[in-house]
Chains A and B, each alone.
Chain A
Amino acid sequence: MNLIRVAALAQKEWREILRDRLFFALSFIVPALLMLLFGYGLSLDVENIPFAIQDLDRTPQSRDYAYRFIHSRYFRFQGYVTDESQAGELLSQGRARAVIVIGQGFGRELAANRPAHVQTLLDGTFPYRTQVTKGYITAINTALTRELLAAYMVREKGLSPARAQDAVDPVRLEVRYLYNQGLKSSWGVASKLIMALLLMCPPFLTALGVVREKESGAIYNIYASNATRAEFLIGKLNPYFCIAFINALVLWAMACFLFGAPFKGSATAFLFATVLYVLCSTGIGLLISVLVKSQIAAMIVTAVVTAMPSMLYSGLLTPVSSMNWTARGVAAVFPAMYYGRIIEFCFLKGLGWAYVWGDMLILAGYGAALFAVGYSMFHKRVAA
């Protein structure tokens, strides 16, 4: 390996990038802008659920029940509906995600110490949202049932209010949220976004690197030169790696200072892992570039291979551990999962080298494998 030749190739690549000012600007603007958008926008919190109430009872008790939902911060009241077809229309058009139907005789039954019925119709198109909504509704219903039962025990059984309270709520669940005390999805999302965006953007930088020269014919200069394959690939990768690494630092700073994600772990471990990860993600683009024949194919393959998986299979939205084996297999193929674990250790859990070295080893192996495949697939001799 001749470092002077590598430097020359890298310099040529740098000059090409710097002369394409729009591309150069975009390579920094795009990740930062996406971080800004996703950091604020990609929230899984389920709040302000639009809902409607169908009150068939119209008693003070039913109104009181309705107000528990109307005043909840998780729900946004869209008004009363009078019949089921109206409820169906609201649900089908997405203007309400839940409709609560208070049955006839709600107030009378409760006053007579009998069970009363309510029905909840939920928009089930997005199961996660439906489950969370259902959880909120169950919580409100359980709270009301407890109050009713406590009042009943005081009234009918002569228990003291405190005893009745204990009796209806014998076991309390004290929840401690670890690593993300406020249960703020922006913390978790912002730190994980570093991983997703570094898999989404850098491959696009490098994807055209080699295939562009193939399509324009400039590659023949390389074929004819005395630069070796390895020198060529390393020289190619150099500027893109630098750009992507600067992006990584910018994204890290945004996650910490803009979104307030706590960075409690080892900075050196994180830095080292980031270098490996950026090598992997730019390497994916370069490998695609070596494998395909046209720039269009390079772009489509990069988009399909990195853009969707970077969000879906990286553990950003749903943890890898709850996927089934096929999706876990897909997740294991991408470097994002390993880096995601490192981010989790370094950011939210505040742990260091002892926990991350295994994943780091995998990333290093991954990068080496990418380079080995790219090296063996790139030929200076034109196929006959």
Chain B
Amino acid sequence: MNKVLRRRARLWLRRAWALTVKEYIQLFRDTILVVFIAYAFTLDVYVAGVGVNWQLNNAELGVHDADKSTASREVAGRFRAPFFKNLGSVDAPETGIRLLDEGRLMVVLDFPPDFGADVLRGRQTSVQMQVDTANSAIGSLATSYAEQIVGRYGLERALGVQELDVDKIHGVPFLIDETRAWYNQNQEDSWFMALAELISNMTLLAILLPAAALAREKERGTVEQLMVSPLSPVQILAPKILAMGSVILAGLAAGVLGVVVGLFHVPVRGSLLLFFGVSALYIMFTAGIGLLIATIARNLAQVGMLTVLVFAPMIFLSGAWTPPEAMPSWMRFIMGCLPMHYMLDAAFGILLKGLGPAGLWRELLGIVGLGAPILGLSLWRFSRQFK
């Protein structure tokens, strides 16, 4: 009895393996496809990490100084690198507006004629700042830094010191704030960008590759061949997930070890094994989404449109690019239904925060709890379609 069972199991696995090998061969024969998969996991991640910047970086600044006093020069001089780049003076307010319109300046400071005199006399004065907020993220950062600069200047004037040195303040009530950014002390954008891009690309491929592989069989009619072969639906679908998933996982490993850790020096504070384990789980269940798409679509063109419909919200609303806290509640509900949201938290949690399996129960629950029903549904639909 036991022997029979074991023989059957071996046969089952051998058949599934044969199909897996077929998927590998098919995938690797498509050179352009392989090149782009490799690109998505390495070069693309590198460019995103090195190039895309969320900080206020050399914002072009123009100064219209109607005062030309020491005080106005002092304040304007504090708007400097790395946040601002002073491009010199602007002769009239209208010129400033024109340069802002043309996008050649981002910020224009406007000092009133009696600015310096007022500061000396201890009377409150003001400086006008015009800021291009067409991009609200960078616009609000520019405003925030400008307020910090002017606020600091004001406190220094009030205390009558040249430079605000918290160790030298005595005898006045004063708030000394010490800020520490955990997990990414130097606030490297590359750490965040590279990981977010990597996981986005992983999600994209994990949906699209299995979806396309199955839809192609449907379109060409080779799926009929598979149906009349002695293979169960699981045996047909599992090899696709296994073949595509292992390629994606290999790409992920190259991206993490080569780019994220190798080039950007992201500290691996948790276990890499755990990270790849969670990723494998995630890829498997995300592939389920792809297979579900393939059971709905009749041809690859439909797969294309359906995938856009699924992956675009998945990637851009999962909280990678937008702070989840600010979203309306219904949007946060949608976010809670996106497996990638949990994968991101898990990836940042393991790599940057050093979380172990115990701290990841919510993420694991999200990945498995959302993924398993979808994978089950796609299996069910697939087996029903070809009875």
| B146 near A167: Cβ-Cβ < 8 Å | no
Name the interface size band of chain B.
35 or more
Residues of chain A within 8 A (CB-CB) of B323 are 44-46, 126, 129
Question: Residues 339-357 of chain B: 1 if any A CB is under 8 Å from the residue's CB, otherwise 0?
Answer: 0000001001100111100
Number of interface residues of A (CB under 8 A): 134
Residues of chain A within 8 A (CB-CB) of B134 are 178-180, 188, 344, 348-349
Residues of chain B within 8 A (CB-CB) of A295 are 212, 216, 300
| A124 near B212: Cβ-Cβ < 8 Å | no
User: Does chain B have a CB within 8 A of A312?
Assistant: yes
Bound-complex Cα distance A213 to B317 (A): 35
Bound-complex Cα distance A38 to B314 (A): 11
User: Does chain A have a CB within 8 A of B140?
Assistant: yes
8 Å CB interface, A112-132 against B: 113-132
User: Does chain B have a CB within 8 A of A208?
Assistant: yes
Q: How far is the CB of A348 from chain B (nearest CB, A)?
A: 5
Residues of chain B within 8 A (CB-CB) of A180 are 133-134, 136, 139
| A37 near B119: Cβ-Cβ < 8 Å | no
User: Does chain A have a CB within 8 A of B2?
Assistant: no
| B177 near A118: Cβ-Cβ < 8 Å | yes
User: Does chain B have a CB within 8 A of A169?
Assistant: yes
Q: How far is the CB of A242 from chain B (nearest CB, A)?
A: 16
Known: A128-B54, A135-B145, A308-B197. A44 touches B137 (CB 8 A): yes
| A212 near B130: Cβ-Cβ < 8 Å | no
User: Does chain B have a CB within 8 A of A327?
Assistant: yes
Bound-complex Cα distance A42 to B146 (A): 26
**Residue picked from B131, B169, B305, B353, most chain A C-beta under 10 Å:** B305
| A38 near B133: Cβ-Cβ < 8 Å | no
Q: How far is the CB of B99 from chain A (nearest CB, A)?
A: 11
Residues of chain A within 8 A (CB-CB) of B307 are 299, 303
Q: Is the interface of A mostly helix, strand, loop or mixed?
A: helix
**CB-CB nearest in chain A for B313:** A37
| B312 near A355: Cβ-Cβ < 8 Å | no
**CB-CB nearest in chain B for A322:** B57
Bound-complex Cα distance A172 to B157 (A): 13
Residues of chain B within 8 A (CB-CB) of A165 are 124
User: Does chain B have a CB within 8 A of A194?
Assistant: no
**CB-CB nearest in chain B for A180:** B133
Specify which of A117, A188, A212, A341 is in contact with B301 (CB 8 Å cutoff): A212
8 Å CB interface, B138-152 against A: 138-141, 143-148, 150-152
Bound-complex Cα distance A91 to B354 (A): 12
| B182 near A30: Cβ-Cβ < 8 Å | no
Bound-complex Cα distance A82 to B313 (A): 39
Known: A128-B55, A173-B150. A317 touches B321 (CB 8 A): yes
User: Does chain B have a CB within 8 A of A138?
Assistant: yes
| B135 near A315: Cβ-Cβ < 8 Å | yes
Residues of chain A within 8 A (CB-CB) of B47 are 326-327, 330
**CB-CB nearest in chain A for B207:** A303
| B53 near A26: Cβ-Cβ < 8 Å | no
Specify which of A97, A110, A322 is in contact with B56 (CB 8 Å cutoff): A322
| B326 near A46: Cβ-Cβ < 8 Å | yes
| A312 near B48: Cβ-Cβ < 8 Å | yes
- One of A142-150, A223-231, A363-371 contacting the partner: A142-150
User: Does chain B have a CB within 8 A of A34?
Assistant: yes
Pairs across A and B, CB under 8 Å, 18 listed? A49-B325, A115-B173, A124-B184, A125-B192, A149-B159, A171-B126, A175-B146, A188-B135, A208-B300, A295-B216, A300-B205, A303-B311, A307-B315, A318-B137, A321-B103, A322-B55, A322-B58, A349-B134
Beyond known contacts A125-B348, A171-B127, A318-B135: 6 more, CB 8 A cutoff:
A45-B136, A168-B155, A170-B122, A201-B305, A293-B32, A303-B311
The 8 lowest CB-CB distance pairs between A and B, nearest first, are A327-B51, A124-B181, A135-B144, A124-B184, A128-B54, A26-B305, A185-B136, A148-B173
Measured CB to CB, the residues of B under 8 A from A are 30, 32-33, 36-37, 39-40, 44, 47-48, 50-60, 75, 100-103, 106, 118-119, 122-141, 143-148, 150-155, 157-159, 166, 169-185, 187-189, 192, 197, 200-201, 204-205, 208-209, 212-213, 216, 297-309, 311-313, 315-317, 321-323, 325-328, 331, 334, 345, 348-349, 352-355, 359, 362
